[in-house]
Structure 1
Amino acid sequence: MRRPNRADPATERDPGADAPSGSRGDEFALIERLRRRFETGVPAPPGAEEGIGPRGTLDIEVGIGDDAAVLGLGANERLVVSVDLVAEDVHFDLGVGTPADAGWKALAVALSDLAAMGATPRFAVVAVASPPDRDLDDFGQGLAEAAAAFRCPVVGGDLSRAGALVASVTVAGSLPNDGRPALTRSGARVGDLLFLTGPLGASAAGLRQLRAGTTATPESATSIRAYLRPQPRIAEGLAARRGQATAAIDISDGLAADAGHLAEASGVGLSFDGLPVAEGARLEEAIGGGEDYELLLAAPDGGSLRSAFLEAGLPPPLVVGACTGEVGTCRLEGRPLDRAGWRHQF
C-alpha cells in the first residue's frame, strides 16, 4: 500500500475524522474486516463441493495482513504473491511526470512488497484501464524498463477503458525452502535493534519540488527521481533474510504509519533514537511523507545483518533504534511518534 501524492501528510492524521457520509472507515479497518471474513469463510452455495474451507487446499504460510502472501509449492520453494493498484491523481500525477514514469512506478511499488518479504521476483501480470487520450505506449515503455531493471518479466495482463489511468499489478516471487522463514511484520521481539536501508523523505521532497517548479540541481534531481522512479529494495530484502532479520516492512505509507503496523503485528513497541533524513527533505517528510520504499528491519544484533549486506555489495543498514515492551507504541527520541501517513477512506 502507498500514500497518494496529492495530500499533505499534516492533514491526514485522523483516519476517521474526514470520512465521507456513509463511510465504513479507513482502509486498514476495511482490510481487517475482509481478512476476518476470508479466514472464517461463508456458507457454501447450494450444490457446491464441501470440505475445501476458506483457505482452500493451499499451504498458506502468510496470508492477508502482511506485505505479501507466502504459499507452499512443495519441497523446493514457496510462492510469494502480492497485488498493488495505482491510480492517476491518487498515486501519480501526469502533470509533473510522464506515463512512462507511471508505468515504472506501477511495477516498482508492487515489487517493494516482495522485497519486504525477502523474496526474489519471478513475474508480473498487469491490468490497465485508461481513457483513450493517455499514451499507453509510453506507459508500457516505463513498465518494460522497470521489468528489465528488476528482472521481473511481465507475462500477461488485460486492457480496458476508464475515466482515468489505473493499473493493477500482481507480482509473484519465490522463497527457497531453506529453513528460514519469510520476513514478515510480526517477527520482531523486545530487544531487537531497528534498521533502515536508507534515508527517508526523498520522495515527498521530490514531489514538493516538482509542484513548486524548483530549478533543477543535483540535490533536487535525486529527490525527483525518488518520486518518479522509486527503487524497490529487492537486494536488501534478500540480504536481510540471510542476515537473520526478524521482521520487515516497506516504508510506503510513511514511517510513522508503517512502523505502527510492524509494532502492532509483532506485539512490541518501537523506540527511534533518530531518523536519517534525505538531503533536501524535511523531518516531517521523513516521518509522514511516504513513498520512500526503504525497508524498516528488526534484528537481534547488527553483526549478521551488516555482514549479509556487505557480502551482497550493499551499504550496511542504518541503526535507528530498538524494540521495547511498550506494545503498539512508537517513539522518536522519547516522544510519541504521530501516526501520520496515508489511509484511504472508504
Structure 2
Amino acid sequence: MERKKASKKGENGSALIMGGSEEFVGAVTLAGQGALRTGCDIVTIAAPEKVAWIVNRYSPDLITHKISGKTFTLKDAKEMVKHADRFDAVLVGNGITRKADRFCQHFVRKSQKLKVIDADALKSLSFKDFSNSIITPHETELEMMLVNSQKEFLLPKLRKSNAKEKADILQGNLRYFLQNNNVLLLKGATDIIISRNKVAFNRTGNQGMTKAGTGDVLAGLAIGFLAKTKDLFKSAVAAAYINGFVGDALLKKKKGYSFIASDIVEDLAKFQKISKSVTSTEKKKVAKKKVVQKKIAKKTVKKKVAKKKKR
C-alpha cells in the first residue's frame, strides 16, 4: 500500500489489540509486532496491568493501555467500546482466556468498529454476534461456534469435505453472518477465506506452523492490514498468504521445522524484498514462455509457407 509523502503519524493505520493474561503474555506481543510489520503506524496493546508492563519491557514500539485486575471484566468492556473509537480497527482475543468471556461477548456485540476476533474470544460467541469483523478460527474453534449457533448438523458434512466443499457449505449456511459485513478466515492446511460474494484459498504455510504463536502473528497481520485498508476480505487474504509465505521461507532457511513464531515476526521485515524477488522471477519465467511461444509460432508459420510453395 502506497503512502502519501505528506502523511502524518496515524494516517497509515492505528490498531488496538485487546488480550493477554498472566498465562499468555506472548500472544498479544506477537500480535502487536505482526501488526507493526504491516506498516501500521500505531499499535496499542490493552492488557491487564502486569501483562502490559511485560509488553513494555519486551518492545519499545508498542504502546500499552493498562487494565486494572488480572483479567478483562464486563465493566472493562463498556469502557473499551468507547476507547476503541479512537482507532481504525480492533483485535480481540489473543491470550485473553475464557475468564474474559463476558468481556468478549459485550464488546463484540456492541462495538461497530472494524474488528478481528481470534482465539478464546470466539469460543463463547455465535455467528449472529458479529458485525464488521474478520474471524479467524481453526477447525476446533469453528466447531464450537457452530454448536453455539445451533448449526451442529453441519459438522458431519464438514469433517468429510475438502477445502472447496467446506467453502460451499459454509458460504451457503452462514448467510446472516456474511451479509452482516463479516469475513471468515478458517485456518488449516489450506486456509479458506469467505465473504458474502467471494471465496479464496491460501496454500502457503507448512506443518512447522502448528507452533504456538503463529496464529497470533496471523491475527496481528490481519488487524494491521485492516487498520490501513479498511477492507475485510483483502486484509484476511493478505494476512493468510504472507504468514504462510514467510513460514515457507523459514522452513527452507532453517532446513526443518525448528522455526518459531517470533522468527516469523523477525522475517516479516524481509517479506517485501523476498516477494519482489519472487515476482521478478515469475515475470522472467512468463517472459521466457512468451519468447518460446513466439519462436514456435514463427516455425509453424514457416512450415506452412514451405508446404504451400511445394504445392
TM-score (norm 1): 0.25
Structure with the higher helix share, 1 or 2: 2
Work out which of the two has the higher radius of gyration on C-alpha atoms and give 1 or 2: 2
Structure with the higher strand share, 1 or 2: 1
TM-score (norm 2): 0.27
